[in-house]
Amino acid sequence: MDTLDAAELSPRDLNRRLKELTANGRAEVTILNPGARHNLAVGILKPCTVQFKGSVGYFAASMIDGPEVTIDGNAGWALGENMMGGRIVLTKDAGASLAASMRGGEVIVGGNAGARAGISMKGGTLVIEGNSGFLTGFMMQKGRIIVCGDIGEAVGDSMYEGTIYVGGKIGSLGNDAKLEEATEGELIEIWSVLADNGIDKKPRFRKVVSQKKLYHFDSLERLEMAAV
Amino acid sequence: MCGISGIIYKNARQNGQAPVGRDLVRMLDSLAHRGRDSSGVTIAGEDFDGDYIVRMWTDDEDRADVVLARAEEAATRAGCVVTARQSWGGYLRLIVNFEGEVRGLAEATIATDGVELHSIGRVSEVVKDVGTASVLAEKHGVGGLRGTHGIGHVRMATESKVDISHAHPFWAYPFPDVTVVHNGQLTNYHKLKRRYEDHGHRFQTGNDSEVIAVYLADKLARGDALDKALGDSLNDLDGTFTYVVSTEDGLGCAKDQWSAKPLVTMETDEVVAVASEEVALRSVFSEEIDRVEPQQREFMTWTL
């Protein structure tokens, strides 16, 4: 196990050291004193574990594919932006644009999320144990967002595909979004996702999906064509 | 993009002045990546012997002594008794005793060619310059100023020119002690500005943020409480904004309907700090405190 002290390194040097340490596959790295600085642990494409002892700033663990990143603290805007795979666990609150454009993997937030969580999400699972803010799932295209607490206004505005599960109150639905009851099968699946992540809650989730009136889906994607 | 910050020591009136200048410089230093065009602070609640602090500046560097002496003379003619005077570069800071209307004093001062007023305050003053917060610390000694509360800003200019007068904070001419720092762009600035000009207000700059200060000060002068003024501003200001306002005895912040610009806060029994990013709050709190992020259409106020 390696330890890096972020207080002694610039973000660029810290990311370079992380890449070196994780270059040969599995590694365990603990990062001390991240001090809520930006752009930490970005672009790591190998399986490894990275643990931050403290808050991180903007774009933390963005563009990753493979690592398991744990953050004991808060995150600024765009945690896990565009991540392809791997897992991010945040113990406290996330800022705006959480997991923006994420394509795969899991992001687990122990606290609340700010505005535009899961904006333009293209796959994977985003779990928020607390509440989620304004415009959650804005223009979402794939994947699922699970919010155990309350969710703010304009949920799922202009979403194409994907599902937003809400355990608590809903501020309002966004354009072209609709509310549906989750099936028993879905509930069991979502509860098991929570249990797997150590979240001891079983809210009666409702789900927000697209009405599909805003866009016209008259052609299939390449992979969908093959399946037809 | 800009960086904003604010801090208030809630019990400073009982416990004595706090290192507000040091805290603001630290916060602005850690937000330097959000803007390097200019920087500025309001420091409120300093100890000084007089009725008002008057801060002015001239861009006529070669003749600064002459121009500023004229402005001081004009202030004296308007009824000021100067008890202390400091001048450096193009800046002049006066401590004055004055019993008349602040508007009269302000108008007399800016009638002097080449002079711009940065603030008149019963308890506060605005210090601003081009460059980063280290300029404020080195050239203006801001780090050593003690008080009860204050606000700060680092600017990446989008809406108007880069010079000292267009640096934040903006003082709400001619209302003493109301100053604002803003991150964002107002889209109904011209409409609001014209409305206030029709009512006799005079704007000091071409910057959209200045109108927020005038808007809030006008409401406060009409008897509204600070939280009422902030709440109304969410409907009356159009565009993107997160702003922090400093008044004679308090601090407030507000976020627009889109939550477009960031702000996070940390609070203990003694002190509240607000800033664009957590990295700035961490520069003043060493202990682990919960961070609160106001959401869209949210505002918060604190008083001494």
Nearest CA in chain B to A113: B293
Q: What is the pLDDT of chain A when averaged over all its residues? A: 95
Q: Can you give the pLDDT at residue A226?
A: 75
| pLDDT score of A55 more than 90 | yes
Nearest-by-CA chain B residue for A35? B279
Confidence at residue A218, expressed as pLDDT on a 0 to 100 scale: 66
For residues A137 and A223, membership in a common domain is answered with: yes
Q: Is the pLDDT confidence value at B246 over 70?
A: yes
Q: What are phi and psi of B86, to 5 degrees?
A: -130, 140
What SS3 class is residue A149? coil
Q: Does A77 touch chain B (CB under 8 A)?
A: yes
Catalytic residues of B: 2
* A58, A129: one domain: no
Mutate to test the interface with A, among B261, B277, B288, B289 (most CBs of A within 10 A): B277
- Of the given ranges (A86-95, A154-163, A213-222, B66-75), which has the lowest mean pLDDT? A213-222
Q: Report helix, strand or coil for A32.
A: strand
In Å, the largest CA–CA distance within chain B is 53
- When computed from its CA atoms, the radius of gyration of chain A, rounded to whole angstroms, is 18
Do A139 and A218 have their domain in common? Answer: yes
d(CA A98, CA A79): 5
Q: Note whether A50 and A147 are same-domain residues.
A: no
- The first and second tokens of residue A88, run together, are 């991010």
On whether any CB of chain A is under 8 Å from the CB of B26, the answer is no
- Grade residue A224 by pLDDT with cuts at 50, 70 and 90: confident
For A162-182, how does the pLDDT look when each residue is reduced to its tens digit (9 = 90+)? 999 999 999 999 999 999 999
Whole domain around residue A168: which residue ranges? 125-228
pLDDT at A53: 97
pLDDT for the residue numbered A217: 64
Does position A10 have pLDDT exceeding 80, yes or no? yes
- Same domain, yes or no, for A87 and A175? no
* A228, part of any domain: yes
**Cβ contact B295–A134 (<8 Å):** yes
Q: How far apart are CA B115 and CA A42, in angstroms?
A: 49
Q: CB of A118 within 8 Å of any CB in chain B?
A: no
Give the pLDDT score at B269: 95
Is residue A59 domain-resident? yes
Q: What is the pLDDT of residues B146-201, one digit of tens each?
A: 999 999 999 999 878 899 999 999 999 999 999 999 999 999 999 999 999 999 88
Specify if A117 maps to a domain.
no
Residue A44 domain-assigned (yes or no): yes
- Of A75, A92, A109, which residue sits at a domain end? A92
Please name the residue of chain B whose CA is at the shortest distance from the CA of residue A74.
B291
Both A17 and A78 in one domain: the answer is: yes
Longest dimension (CA), chain A: 56
Q: Is A57 close to B277, i.e. CB distance below 8 A?
A: yes
Percent pLDDT > 70 in chain B is 100
Q: Are residues A71 and A145 in the same domain?
A: no
Return the higher-pLDDT residue of B137 and A226.
B137
Residue A140 is assigned to a structural domain of this protein: yes
Report yes or no: B229 and B212 within 8 Å, Cβ to Cβ.
Answer: no
What is the share, in percent, of chain B residues with pLDDT greater than 90? Answer: 93
Asked if the structure places residue A20 within a domain, the reply is yes
What structural domains and CATH numbers belong to chain B? Answer: 2-46+132-303 (3.60.20.10), 50-122 (3.30.2130.10)
Residue A111 lies in a domain: no
Q: Is the pLDDT of residue B288 over 70?
A: yes
Is residue A228 very low, low, confident or very high in pLDDT (cuts 50, 70, 90)? low
User: What is the C-alpha separation between B30 and B133, in angstroms, rounded?
Assistant: 9
Interface check A34 vs B, CB under 8 A: no
Which chain A residues are closer than 8 Å to B295 by Cβ? 114-115, 133-134, 152
Answer with the one of A77, A92, A107 that is the final residue of a domain. A92
Tell me which H or E stretch contains A124: strand A122-128
Average confidence (pLDDT) over A52-73: 97
Q: Are residues A143 and A65 in the same domain?
A: no
In 3D, which of B173, B161, B232 has the Cα closest to residue B197?
A: B173
Structure tokens at B107: 């108008």
State yes or no: pLDDT of A221 exceeds 90.
Answer: no
Residue B280 has pLDDT above 90, yes or no: yes
State mean pLDDT over B39-61.
96
Structural domain total, chain A: 2
Q: What is the mean pLDDT of chain B?
A: 96
Residues A226 and A135 in one domain: yes
Query: What pLDDT is recorded for position A215?
Result: 78
Quick: pLDDT tens for B63-108.
999 999 999 999 999 999 999 999 999 999 999 999 999 999 999 9
B136 three-state secondary structure: helix
